[in-house]
Every structure is written in C-alpha cells, then in structure tokens.
Structure 1
Amino acid sequence: MFKVATLYKFVPLHDLALLQQQLQSICSALTGTLLIASEGINGTIAGPADLLDYAMAQIAAIPSFNDLWYQYSEAGHKPFRRLKVRLKKEIITMHQPEVQSMQLRGQHVLAADWNKTLDQAAVVVDVRNDYECRLGSFKGALNPETTYFSQFPAFVETHLTPYKAQPIAMFCTGGIRCEKASAYMLANGFKTVYQLSGGILQYLMHTHEAQSRWQGECFVFDERISLGHGLKKGNSLLCYGCRMPLTEEDIDADYQPGVRCKFCVKH
C-alpha cells in the first residue's frame, strides 16, 4: 500500500534552484511530481507511509511551507514511476499577469457547507478541463469545455460576465485552480466568488455518500486514474493511445487497451 500526498501553497519563493535541490533530497525515496515557481509550490508525491510522513514533515519545516495545504489518500500500486521536481514560471499555468501576486482570493467553503453553497449560488462552475469533467461533477455545474486551464479566462469572458454581481461557486480537484480562477475573476470585477476548500478531494473524503451531491468519479493525474467517495480508487481506465480517461460506458466491443478506443477513432 502506498500513501499519496496532494499539496500546494501560493507563497513568494526565492532561490528556486537551491529549493529544487533541497526538495529532491527530501523526497529522494518517493515518486511523483513537485512544481515550484516564484509564486509557490504544487504537486503530488507518494511512497510508503513512513517515508512519505517523514518527507512531509521535512517539507513543512521549511519556513515558507509551514502552513502548506495537503490531502492524503492511498494507492494499492505505485501511482508514479519516478520523482520529478521541476522549476516553472507558474505552478498552475494561466498566463494572466494580474493574478501573479495572488492578493485576491475567493471565499473558501468547507466540505461540510458545500451543499448549502450549491443551493445558494447563481451559477456553479467546474474549473477543471473537459476530459476531467467527463468522469464526474456536481449536478448542474457548468463545464468550461477547456483542454488547458489557460483557456479558462476566455470562458469567463464569454459565459460568466452576466453573473458579475451574483454569487458564483467554483470547484476543482484539490483547490489550486480555484485559487487562480477566483483571483482572476475578482481582479476583473466579479463581486462574490466561493470556492470549495480543498477541492473535490476534501468533499469526497469528508462527505458521506448518502448526503453527497457528487456524481461519478474524480479524475486524478496518476496511475489510479480516478477516485470515488472516501478517496477509494475508481473504475475508470486510461487509453494509452490518446490518453483519454474512459468510463465503463466508453469501453465497447472494439476497445483494445492502448490501441483503439472511441476517442482514438473519433480523432
């Protein structure tokens, strides 16, 4: 059994090359990906529980990361092949200079209060990409139909402008995309933006299935492909030809793993 930590924090960072070496040393016994930029850290790492706990304690001991957001889950098999610690211009790419300082943020809503927020919002937005939304989402949430997060601002301009004065609720996998999405929207005149604190992962971890508004599974960027309630591994597969996540309904008699799926045929 492997323990998995999803983590992020927006915080000004300096001496990135030195920090990269430090994180590579701390996480040398683990696998996964950590991204660091002048705006903060983002990533998912995994390993045996004792080694991951020790590494997380060391990361949290770095002054800039003392209140790091993280969420634990489990994997029955090794979820990543190797460790990568990469330097980036942004830890989540948006290409919007006005949000680089991250001074503006949406209002965080705990998982326990999210159902009430869904009922009160004028519109609910899934901030993830289209291939993620396909596996599952909250009923009635808008799918921006993006391929990359950097396309989200265009969706805001074309679809959300009428809601500038109304409450908007947003969610993503772990919360980091909502941080930037809400910063962008508030910087561009939106009045009230709520975001699911800790994202879908927190909701699935802390919400009983009988009270849940979540439908389907949550795509994750590792070998597990998807997670369900309680952060248990889902049933989705991944086409190793076109890299599209597949639901059980996507797999027909013609499906050949890594060779042919309906998306390979379509494109």
Structure 2
Amino acid sequence: MTLETPQTTNEYVNIAYYKFVAIDDPNQLRNELLTCCNNLNIKGTILLAKEGINSCLVGSAESIDSFIQFMHNKPFFADIEFKKSFSSHIPFRRMLVKVKNEIIPMGMDSIQPAHFTGKYVEALELKKWLDDGEDVVILDTRNDYEVELGTFKNAIDPKLTKFRDFPKWIEDNFNNYKNKKVVTFCTGGIRCEKATAFMRQEGFEEVYQLQGGILKYFEETHKKAPHEDNHYNGDCFVFDYRVAVDKALNETKYEICYSCWTPLNENDLKSPLYKKDIYCPRCYERHNQKEAQRQNLIRENNMKALQVRQERAKKVKEQWEKGLLK
C-alpha cells in the first residue's frame, strides 16, 4: 500500500520501509537498487541481507513515486508499505546500498520474522486501547538516545544501548510479564518484528507489535484526531539529518552528535565538551580515550620505525668500517 502524497510546501519526500523476505542474491539486488536510485537522484541508505531489506530514502515526489513503482514491480516487494514524510531539504549526503548479515542485528539464527513474529495492532486500535484504559503493557524496543526525545506514556524503557541487548534484557527483567498483554513499538516497526519473534519463542502468550511503528501511529492519529491526546509525549527520533519529527511528522529543531547519535539540547551545544561532528558531553570521555589510544599507537609505530632506521644505519656503518662500501 502506498500513501497518497498530500499537499505540502516541502519539496522533498522521505520514505521509510522494510520487509523480512528471503533474498537469494543480495549483491545482485544491491547493484539494481543503487543504479535505480542514482538514476532518480535519490539519496539515503538501503540495507540488504538474505533476511530482507531496510531503508530510508529521500528525493523529489516524482523520483520517489518512480522508485516505489520499481519496487512494487518486484513480486517479493509488491506488498511493501512505504511510510512518507516531507522536508524542505535532503537529509542525507549520499546514496548507500550495503549488504549485511542482518538488516537488524540480533545475532540469533533462530529468529526469522519472515516466518514467525508477533501479532500486529493497528495505530488507531492501539489508541483506542489506551483511550479505554485497557490493561496493556507498552514496551519500547529502541535505544536510550531515541527514547530521550519521546515515548508513549507509561512505556517501559529497557535503556538499551544497542538492539542486540534486547534478548538478554527480556530474560533478565521481563519474564514476569509473560501472561500480560504486551505491545512493543519502535520507529518504523522493524525492530519489533524481531523483538516479538524472540518473545514468542520465549513463551510470551499475548505479544503485539505496533503496525508501522511510531511514524505510522503519528500519521494515523494526527489524520484522525489531530487535537486529541495520542498518549505519546515528545517527538520521534529518525535516522537522518532531520533528527526528529513531531506528532504531525514535521521536522523538529534538534541538533545531534554524529559521533554517538545523542540528541543535543541548548546546554549541550554551549558546553566546552561539545565539538561539532566530533564529540559531545556524552561521548567526550570515550573520544578522549580513543584519541589517547590513537596517539599511543602513533608513538609506538614511530618508535618501531626509528628502531628500524637505527638498525639499518648501524649495519651501513659496520659495512663502511669493514670497507665493504665505497
């Protein structure tokens, strides 16, 4: 299903999409997709693996429509849903198509969302559950820096630094919710495919995933009831140069540290521990440690090079003294 393009003053269309589906030859598909995007002057990132595709792209309305048609012409991508938002600039610098082992790393071969995952709950259905005060547990599957910008009211935050930590967190902290009605959510839905597959494998009886993620939820609830409480506080972090979007999917005013992906507030930007595109107060210490390691490595390499030169000079001197060199 492709969303209709609304009237907008913004020039560029951003699309986010994914699908877990068997891809026999990701490298061949990579070449096709890269050629298509370059021909259409589309920027962004596509991740491919044998388990599927995950992508965020931006271009003109005409280019994006052509790309969507290109994708839908492929039988295994015919039902992909593209989530659209709009911007006045291109929030990507280049076009990348990467082949990976997994499109969402979890490191568990037993988790195959193309065959086994949780139930879906549509955006408006979830809003009704929350409106009615249903006994439902809301679980955020995103990383900590994303949650800082916004999340559902009363959502449980695992405080993940990487998605690979999700299975262990569930095992260590969430087993007492196995008999509860649990709804997982993330930005676009892809992480919840693996999260719910894992949770079902672990014996959770009634686990759901928010269809289309927060972005789809914002779109549907804003369209249906723009002035009602949608039970979400704050904005939604997105993985491009917009940084975040609000409940109407408009770009919000945030800066970001492109070293650690932390959203930055006004105090962060004024901090002496902030250097644009290099470090911020959160990653300054780690940056210094890496820099110290780098400098130590440089010194070690310089010492090794000096020793080699000294040994070479010593041998030359010995040859001169023996009259072997003239």
- Asked if the contact 1:79/1:223 (under 8 Å) is kept, the reply is yes
The separation in 2 between residues aligned to 1:93 and 1:130, in whole angstroms, is 17
Distance apart, 1:181 and its partner CA: 0.3
Which residue matches 2:244? 226
Give the TM-score normalised by the residue count of structure 1. 0.93
Distance 2:12 2:203 in 1: 44
User: What count of residue pairs does the alignment treat as equivalent?
Assistant: 267
| Residue 62 of structure 2 is aligned to residue 53 of structure 1 | no
Deviation string, structure 1 residues 172-218 (Cα, Å, up to 9, x no partner):
00001011100110011111011111000011112125231111111
Q: Of 185, 205, 208, which residue of structure 2 is paired with 1:194?
A: 208
Could you tell me how far 1:248 is from its partner in structure 2? Answer: 5.0
Q: Partners of 1:264 and 1:36 in 2: how far apart?
A: 29
For the pair 1:97 / 2:115, whether they are aligned, the reply is: no
Q: Is 1:11 matched with 2:21?
A: yes
Distance 2:52 2:136 in 1: 32
Out of 82, 91, 115, the residue aligned to residue 79 of structure 1 is 91
Q: Give the unaligned 5+ runs of structure 1.
A: none
Residues 1-55 of structure 1: per-residue CA shift (max 9 Å, x gap): 2111101111111122211111111111211011111111111011111111111
Match of 1:263 in 2: 282
SS in 2 for 1:229: coil
Query: 1:221-247, CA deviations, whole angstroms, 9 ceiling, x for partnerless residues?
Result: 100000001110012210245431124
Q: Radius of gyration: which is bigger?
A: 2
Of structures 1 and 2, the one with the larger relative CO (CA 8 A, separation 6+) is: 1
Distance between the aligned counterparts of 1:194 and 1:134, measured in 2?
23
State the partner residue of 1:212. 230
Identity between Structure 1 and Structure 2 (%): 38
Report the Cα offset of residue 257 of structure 1. 5.4
Instruction: Name the structure 1 match of 2:293.
Output: none
> 1:102 Cα shift?
3.6
Residue type of the alignment partner of 1:64: F
Amino acid at match of 2:257: C
Q: What residue identity is the alignment partner of 1:104?
A: F
Q: What is the RMSD computed on CA atoms of the aligned residues?
A: 1.9
Residues 52 and 144 of structure 1: CA distance in aligned 2, closer, same or farther (over 3 Å): same
> What SS class does the counterpart of residue 184 from structure 1 fall into?
helix
Moved over 6 A (4+): none
Higher strand share: 1
**SS of residue in 2 equivalent to 1:147:** coil
Task: Provide the C-alpha distance between the structure 2 equivalents of 1:142 and 1:27, rounded to a whole number of angstroms.
Answer: 38
Mean CA deviation greater in 116-125 or 157-166: 116-125
Single out whichever of 204-213 and 22-31 deviates more from structure 2: 204-213
When structure 1 is superposed on structure 2, of 97-106 and 193-202 the one drifting more is: 97-106
Cα distance in structure 1, aligned partners of 2:100 and 2:227: 38
Q: 1:249 to 1:231 in 2, by over 3 A?
A: farther
Return the letter of the residue paired with 1:32.
Answer: G
Question: What one-letter code is carried by the residue in structure 1 that aligns with 2:125?
Answer: D
Indicate if the aligned counterparts of 2:150 and 2:232 stay in contact, CA closer than 8 A.
yes
1:159 to 169, 173, 185: 173
* Residue in structure 1 matched with residue 320 of structure 2 by the alignment: none
C-alpha deviation, 1:249, in angstroms: 6.6
CA distance in 2, matches of 1:33, 1:61: 20
Tell me the distance in 1 between the aligned counterparts of 2:190 and 2:227: 24
Partner of 2:123: 111
Gap change, CA 1:165 and 1:31, over 3 Å in 2: same
Q: Secondary structure at the match of 2:174?
A: helix
Map Cα deviations across residues 68-114 of structure 1 (whole Å, 9 max, x no partner). 12201112211111111111111111111211264222121111111
**Within 2, Cα distance between the matches of 1:77 and 1:171?**
28
Contact 2:183 2:208 in 1 (8 A): yes
Q: Secondary structure at the match of 2:58?
A: strand
The residue type paired with residue 16 of structure 1 is P
